[in-house]
Amino acid sequence: MSVAKEFELANDKYSAGFTKGDLPLPPGRKVAVVVCMDARIDPARALGLEEGDAHVIRNAGGRAADALRSVIISQQLLGTRELVVIHHTDCGMLTFRDEDLRKKLQETTHVTADHFAFLPFADIEQSVREDVAFFKHSPYVLDVPTTGYVYDVKTGAIRKVEDN
């Protein structure tokens, strides 16, 4: 059975007892969380979130630059007033450089990707600091509380990263 078919069956069970269809569009806790797409992280469970609580914006590495469009929409149209950035231990973004992935992409797709910034990093805490600073200094992002964390994939714990 394909994974998509498994999803359909799981959704049949989920939707059969669904009772949260009347939630308002804006997130109730007025927060947007930018977090890595890593399958080992379940942001809702790790942060105690329920449907309707928060915008959870996921991308490779949980990078701020990649999430900017969503954060602008979240703040300007849907009223979020806090940002949380979460990167994690054992992240795949630590394992390559832009040049490596551009070369692999050229070899496998025969397409040049010189214009792509894949946003890898060499230090997890520093990448969190950089992304928090990116949001704090962006002219497109509101001046709201912005906090950064490192999620430990071995323990499930988050650790706050202090600004420099």
Binding site residues for Zn(2+), as ranges?
Answer: 36, 38, 88, 91
Is-contact 134 65, C-beta < 8 A? yes
In the chain the beta strands, taken as DSSP E runs, fall at 31-36, 54-59, 83-88, 146-151, 158-161
Place of tokens 């010189």: 114
Give the separation between CA 25 and CA 21, rounded to whole angstroms: 11
Is-contact 85 62, C-beta < 8 A? yes
One-letter amino acid of 85: V
Give the separation between CA 100 and CA 129, rounded to whole angstroms: 24
What tokens appear for 155 in the block? 């323990």
Binding residues: 36, 38, 88, 91
